[in-house]
């Protein structure tokens, strides 16, 4: 099952490889530009490059939409019936949770419905190793809801992911979510 | 030997912009290092509120104090230089210099003294929590920003004025046709004409790029000025004892409005100005015309349209934002920036390649650095502008590391350094650079330091480290130490550059730049 850890690993590998290639290309260019003779470049190279960039730019989003499981779920979340709904309020730089620990069964699709009563905050869920599972913005006066499919057991921490002044740094609810019943454990 | 007495008022003014821009860059580097140290371990001599005040002022001092100074100085010189006619108004140019310099100092000092730090970096949140910040400090902060914007308005008038006006004693200039050429209308028309019917461009491509970037600057200035007034209303209300935080302004609508305006800097102005500067540098370094010039003009026009419709990628994590805006504006229009910047990258490299063999001068070296910076930073931005990936990247160190810092420090700043190295002998009437070794130290320290810092911030971001947040239990310490070492390299590079420039013109020379010139302000360069 593809989860955010796997997506981030894939992104790390792809971007690192890209960086190595582009740095080597510029190094090669820098070495060769001081030697050789001037040459006319055919416009065909340019048009090929333009087509390549267009295909690359568009295909990235088509690929991620079809491979990252939360993308279609997020854009069409009205079509899903959640297994559980947690209503959370944020006020005066504090998360007000429905219970001390929000317990989720393995493979549940959960809706987090977060309301801000004053400022703009963030709502992020993090694993024990501090890596992020997902986040959203929490705007006052608007519905802020996110669906998530939990498939790894473990304890998860909630943290505000948007700066709301120095007080916002302390908006952490440690181990506020517990997922039970999965064979696979979340990263520790 | 550098003699400031022989400089024209325009040369002096441009050099003043450069000096001030570099001093503010020094502010940014020192502030950046203070924050790097605090991210490694919260040291006692910096309070947490001070840390966030520095974080609020840091990008604004960098963008307005440093980049705007360098860009305004260079373009106020280059537009008349390339158009071969005097600047529209030297007085306005002088006011731009004074307002940007003073305005930046005022908002920097307001942050430093009052610890005013409400910003989500560049995003001013409304409703605002004024219980954490001093509204008087906030009002002074906004005043500083407003002065910078006023200076920018004068710059905009001067750029379009210079392009279109008729200097005294000249034949009447075709203002409409010049403007059409500058904003790219006539270039776009040429794409649909047969080769033999194509019209000659009245305005050179770098001037067209400056004009188009200035269109974005106009909208951006209006949005920031309006927003500044709006925030000032909140500040004044708070000073008078009224709290407006629960009233009138819709948080989502405001956020859309603000990002639309602010993105005109990041996605329009920067990319267009940078592409224009690449084209100028490539043609001046090679002495050859630009490869695929008509397409380059059309791409600049396309970028202008893209920059007006691209803002929604900042709201991909806002669940109330309509999905259609997220997909069309946030994802697909944003992907066009890969195309427009990719084309500028290709055109510049091919123009250079067509003139082989070239001497590896400082301007060429820094230009290649600038090209590399955007080649690294733009794809990093395109990745985070994806509905799926944004869910795990938004507001992490990934955004500010591989995207923002690499784009600004490597892409933008190295391009500007290339322009400074190229213009230095022109602006100083042939002064020699004091040391090539120092220039090499500057290049390598800045390049390795900037890319390294972005990379280590990005690694921390991919592992969950948020931006604008503090981790007091050492969760990401190793990445912050490595990013701090890279920041140190940037500082060394900057000191090498500053020393090199000061030694090249001498301390007396630096002082002489700020003394008034007795020459005619209409004359750009002294007669040989």
Phi/psi of residue A7, nearest 5 degrees? -60, -45
Using pLDDT thresholds of 50, 70 and 90, give the confidence band for residue A121: very high
pLDDT above 80: residue B243: no
Measure CB to CB from residue B335 to each of A58, A145, A169 and give the nearest one: A58
Using pLDDT thresholds of 50, 70 and 90, give the confidence band for residue B121: very low
Chain B residues touching A34 at Cβ < 8 A: 356-360
Rounded Cα distance between B59 and B42, Å, is 21
The residue with tokens 């910040």 is B133
Which of B411, B466, B468, B472 would best serve as a mutation to test chain A binding (most A beta carbons within 10 A)?
B466
Average pLDDT of every residue of chain A? 94
Q: What is the pLDDT of residues A80-90, one digit of tens each?
A: 999 999 999 99
The CA-based dihedral angle spanning residues B48, B49, B50, B52, taken in that order and rounded to the nearest 10 degrees: 90
Q: What is the pLDDT of residues B253-276, one digit of tens each?
A: 888 988 888 888 777 778 888 999
Question: Is the Cβ pair B364, A33 closer than 8 Å?
Answer: yes
Q: How many CB pairs under 8 A join A and B?
A: 225
Measure CB to CB from residue A130 to each of B132, B331, B464 and give the nearest one: B464
Question: Is the Cβ pair B358, A127 closer than 8 Å?
Answer: no
Question: Is the Cβ pair A165, B365 closer than 8 Å?
Answer: no
Collapsed DSSP state (helix, strand, coil) of residue A124: strand
What is the predicted pLDDT for the residue at B123?
56
Tell me how crowded residue B305 is: count the other CB atoms within 10 A of its CB. Answer: 13
Chain A residues touching B128 at Cβ < 8 A: 119
> Taking Cα atoms as reference points, which of A183, A159, A181 lies closest to residue A171?
A159
Cis previous bond, A12, omega within 30: no
Measure CB to CB from residue A163 to each of B48, B120, B128 and give the nearest one: B120
Measure CB to CB from residue B335 to each of A57, A134, A161 and give the nearest one: A57
Question: Is the Cβ pair A166, B323 closer than 8 Å?
Answer: no
Nearest chain A Cα distance for residue B169, angstroms = 43
DSSP run (H or E) holding B173: none
Chain B residues touching A7 at Cβ < 8 A: 388-389, 392
Question: Is the Cβ pair B319, A122 closer than 8 Å?
Answer: no
Pairing status of strand A172-180 against strand A121-126: unpaired
Nearest chain B Cα distance for residue A156, angstroms = 13
What is the predicted pLDDT for the residue at B136?
87
- Alpha helix (H) residue ranges in chain A: 4-32, 43-67, 70-75
Residues B257/B314, Cβ–Cβ less than 8 Å: no
B514 touches chain A (CB under 8 A): no
Crossing angle of the two packed helices B334-353 and B293-308, in degrees rounded to 10: 160
B287 touches chain A (CB under 8 A): no
Q: Which residue of A has its CA nearest to B326?
A: A75
Q: Which long-range contacts (CB under 8 A, 24 or more apart) does B34-42 make?
A: B36/B480, B36/B483, B36/B484, B36/B487, B37/B484, B38/B470, B39/B470, B39/B471, B39/B480, B39/B483, B39/B484, B40/B477, B40/B480, B40/B481, B40/B484, B41/B474, B41/B477, B42/B470, B42/B472
Question: Is the Cβ pair A124, B466 closer than 8 Å?
Answer: yes
Average pLDDT of every residue of chain B? 91
Using pLDDT thresholds of 50, 70 and 90, give the confidence band for residue B127: low
Nearest chain A Cα distance for residue B386, angstroms = 6
Pairing status of strand A172-180 against strand A132-138: unpaired
Q: Would you call A172 exposed, middle or buried from its count of C-beta atoms within 10 A (0-12, 13-18, 19+)? A: middle
Question: Is the Cβ pair A49, B343 closer than 8 Å?
Answer: yes
Question: Is the Cβ pair B475, A130 closer than 8 Å?
Answer: yes
Which of A120, A124, A160 would best serve as a mutation to test chain B binding (most B beta carbons within 10 A)?
A120
The residue with tokens 């209006």 is B222
| B449: its two tokens | 């330091």
Rounded Cα distance between A39 and B350, Å, is 10
Encode burial over A69-108: b for 16+ CB neighbours within 10 A, e otherwise: bbbebbbebeeeebeeebebebeebebebeeeebebeeeb
Across the beta sheet with A154-159, the strand order is A102-105, A172-180, A154-159, A121-126, A132-138
Q: What is the pLDDT of residues B81-113, one digit of tens each?
A: 999 999 999 999 999 999 999 999 999 999 888
Encode burial over B509-528: b for 16+ CB neighbours within 10 A, e otherwise: beebbeeebebebeebeeee
| A54: its two tokens | 């267009």
Nearest chain A Cα distance for residue B427, angstroms = 27
Rounded Cα distance between B141 and B124, Å, is 12
Q: List chain A domain ranges.
A: 4-68, 83-180
| A163: its two tokens | 């700066």
Q: Which residue of B has its CA nearest to A31?
A: B360
Percent of chain B past pLDDT 90, that is, above it, reads: 70
Residues A163/A144, Cβ–Cβ less than 8 Å: no
Question: Is the Cβ pair A26, B387 closer than 8 Å?
Answer: no
What is the predicted pLDDT for the residue at A92?
93
Q: Would you call B332 exposed, middle or buried from its count of C-beta atoms within 10 A (0-12, 13-18, 19+)? A: middle
Using pLDDT thresholds of 50, 70 and 90, give the confidence band for residue B247: low
Phi/psi of residue A158, nearest 5 degrees? -100, 140
Rounded Cα distance between B377 and B411, Å, is 8
pLDDT above 90: residue B285: yes
Q: What is the pLDDT of residues B442-455, one digit of tens each?
A: 999 999 999 999 99
- Alpha helix (H) residue ranges in B463-518: 477-505, 507-513
Class of domain A83-180: mainly beta
Using pLDDT thresholds of 50, 70 and 90, give the confidence band for residue B130: confident
Name A153's bridge partners.
Answer: A185
Residues B228/B257, Cβ–Cβ less than 8 Å: no
Rounded Cα distance between B459 and B271, Å, is 25
Using pLDDT thresholds of 50, 70 and 90, give the confidence band for residue B120: low
Which of B388, B396, B462, B472 would best serve as a mutation to test chain A binding (most A beta carbons within 10 A)?
B388
Rounded Cα distance between B199 and B96, Å, is 35
Chain A residues touching B455 at Cβ < 8 A: 19
> Taking Cα atoms as reference points, which of A115, A135, A60, A112 lies closest to residue B467?
A135
Angle, vertex CA B392, rays to CA B461 and CA B270, nearest 5: 65
Q: What is the pLDDT of residues B453-466, one digit of tens each?
A: 999 999 999 999 99
| B306: its two tokens | 């893209």
| B279: its two tokens | 């084209």
pLDDT above 80: residue B119: no
Using pLDDT thresholds of 50, 70 and 90, give the confidence band for residue B114: confident
Q: What is the pLDDT of residues B142-178, one digit of tens each?
A: 899 999 999 999 999 999 999 999 999 999 999 999 9
Chain B residues touching A45 at Cβ < 8 A: 350
Rounded Cα distance between B415 and B437, Å, is 20
What letter does residue B464 receive in the DSSP assignment? T
Using pLDDT thresholds of 50, 70 and 90, give the confidence band for residue B482: very high
B343 touches chain A (CB under 8 A): yes
Q: What is the pLDDT of residues B301-311, one digit of tens each?
A: 888 788 889 99
B44 touches chain A (CB under 8 A): no
Question: Is the Cβ pair B349, A134 closer than 8 Å?
Answer: no
Rounded Cα distance between B232 and B111, Å, is 15
Tell me how crowded residue B114 is: count the other CB atoms within 10 A of its CB. Answer: 19
DSSP run (H or E) holding B86: none
Q: What is the pLDDT of residues B499-514, one digit of tens each?
A: 999 999 999 999 999 9
**Which residue has better confidence, A86 or A58?**
A86
Residues B265/B213, Cβ–Cβ less than 8 Å: no
Chain A residues touching B243 at Cβ < 8 A: none
B72 touches chain A (CB under 8 A): no
Rounded Cα distance between B150 and B228, Å, is 12
Pairing status of strand A121-126 against strand A154-159: antiparallel
Q: What is the mean pLDDT of residues B48-74?
A: 93
Residues ≥6 apart with Cβ < 8 Å to A185 = A152, A153, A154
> Taking Cα atoms as reference points, which of A27, A159, A85 lies closest to residue B468?
A159
Question: Is the Cβ pair B353, A8 closer than 8 Å?
Answer: no
Residues A155/A130, Cβ–Cβ less than 8 Å: no
What is the predicted pLDDT for the residue at B125?
65
Measure CB to CB from residue A64 to each of B376, B386, B469 and give the nearest one: B386
Tell me how crowded residue B426 is: count the other CB atoms within 10 A of its CB. Answer: 16
Rounded Cα distance between B393 and B387, Å, is 10
Question: Is the Cβ pair A57, B395 closer than 8 Å?
Answer: no
Question: Is the Cβ pair B389, A169 closer than 8 Å?
Answer: no
pLDDT above 60: residue B187: yes
């Amino acid at each position: 099952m593809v989860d955010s850890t796997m997506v981030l690993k894939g992104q790390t590998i792809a971007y690192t490889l890209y960086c190595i290639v582009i740095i080597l290309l510029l190094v090669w260019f820098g070495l060769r530009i001081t030697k050789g003779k001037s040459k006319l470049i055919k416009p065909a190279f340019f048009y090929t490059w333009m087509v390549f960039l267009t295909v690359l730019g568009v295909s990235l989003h088509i690929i991620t939409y079809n491979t990252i499981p939360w993308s279609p779920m997020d854009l069409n979340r009205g079509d899903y019936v959640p297994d559980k709904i947690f209503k959370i309020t944020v006020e005066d730089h504090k998360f007000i949770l429905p219970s001390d620990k929000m317990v989720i069964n393995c493979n549940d699709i959960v809706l987090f419905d977060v309301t801000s009563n004053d400022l703009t905050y963030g709502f992020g869920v993090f694993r024990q190793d501090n890596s992020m599972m997902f986040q959203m913005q929490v705007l006052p006066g608007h519905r802020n809801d996110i669906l998530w499919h939990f498939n790894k057991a473990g304890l998860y921490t909630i943290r505000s992911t948007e700066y709301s002044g120095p007080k916002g740094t302390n908006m952490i609810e440690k181990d506020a979510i517990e997922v039970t019943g999965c064979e696979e454990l979340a990263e520790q | 030997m550098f003699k400031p007495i022989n400089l024209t008022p325009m040369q002096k003014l441009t050099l003043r912009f450069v000096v001030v821009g570099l001093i503010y860059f020094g502010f940014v580097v020192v502030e950046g290092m203070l924050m790097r140290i605090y991210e490694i371990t919260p040291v006692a001599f910096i309070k947490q509120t001070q840390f966030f005040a520095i974080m609020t002022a840091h990008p604004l001092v960098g963008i307005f104090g440093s980049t705007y100074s360098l860009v305004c100085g260079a373009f106020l010189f280059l537009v008349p230089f390339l158009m071969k006619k005097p600047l529209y108004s030297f007085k306005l140019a002088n006011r731009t210099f004074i307002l940007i310099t003073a305005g930046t100092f005022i908002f920097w000092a307001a942050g430093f003294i009052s610890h005013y730090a409400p910003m989500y970096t560049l995003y001013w949140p409304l409703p605002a929590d004024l219980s954490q910040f001093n509204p008087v400090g906030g009002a002074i902060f906004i005043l500083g920003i407003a002065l910078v914007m006023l200076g920018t308005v004068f710059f905009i008038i001067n750029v379009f004025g210079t392009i279109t006006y008729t200097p005294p004693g000249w034949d009447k200039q075709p203002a409409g046709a010049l403007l059409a050429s500058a904003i790219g209308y006539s270039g776009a028309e040429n794409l649909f004409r047969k080769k033999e019917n194509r019209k000659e461009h009245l305005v050179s491509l770098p001037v067209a790029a400056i004009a188009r970037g200035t269109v974005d600057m106009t909208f951006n200035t209006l949005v920031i000025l309006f927003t500044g007034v709006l925030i000032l209303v909140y500040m004044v209300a708070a000073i008078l004892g009224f709290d407006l935080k629960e009233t009138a302004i819709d948080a989502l609508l405001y956020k859309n409005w603000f990002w639309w305006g602010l993105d005109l800097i990041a996605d329009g102005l920067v990319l267009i100005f940078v592409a224009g500067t690449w084209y100028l540098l490539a043609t001046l370094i090679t002495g050859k015309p630009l490869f695929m010039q008509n397409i380059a003009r059309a791409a600049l026009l396309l970028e202008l349209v893209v920059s007006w419709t691209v803002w929604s990628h900042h709201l991909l994590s806002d669940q109330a934002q309509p999905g259609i805006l997220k997909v069309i504006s946030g994802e697909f229009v944003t992907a066009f920036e890969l195309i427009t910047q990719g084309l500028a990258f290709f055109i510049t490299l091919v123009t250079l390649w067509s003139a082989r063999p070239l001497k590896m001068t400082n301007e060429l070296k820094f230009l290649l650095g600038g090209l590399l910076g955007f080649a690294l930073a733009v794809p990093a931005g395109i990745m985070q502008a994806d509905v799926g990936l944004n869910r795990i990247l938004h507001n992490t160190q990934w955004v500010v590391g591989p995207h923002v810092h690499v784009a600004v420090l490597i892409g933008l700043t190295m391009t500007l350094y290339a322009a400074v190295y190229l213009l230095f002998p022109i602006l100083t009437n042939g002064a020699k650079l004091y040391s090539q070794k120092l220039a090499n130290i500057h290049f390598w320290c800045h390049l390795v330091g900037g890319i390294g810092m972005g990379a280590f911030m990005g690694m921390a971001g991919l592992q969950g480290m948020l931006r604008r947040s503090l981790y007091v239990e050492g969760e990401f310490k190793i990445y912050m130490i490595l990013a701090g070492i890279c920041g140190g390299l940037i500082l060394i590079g900057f000191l090498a550059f500053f020393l090199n420039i000061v030694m090249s013109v001498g301390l007396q020379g630096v002082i002489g730049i700020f003394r008034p010139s007795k020459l005619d302000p209409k004359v750009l360069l002294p007669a040989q």
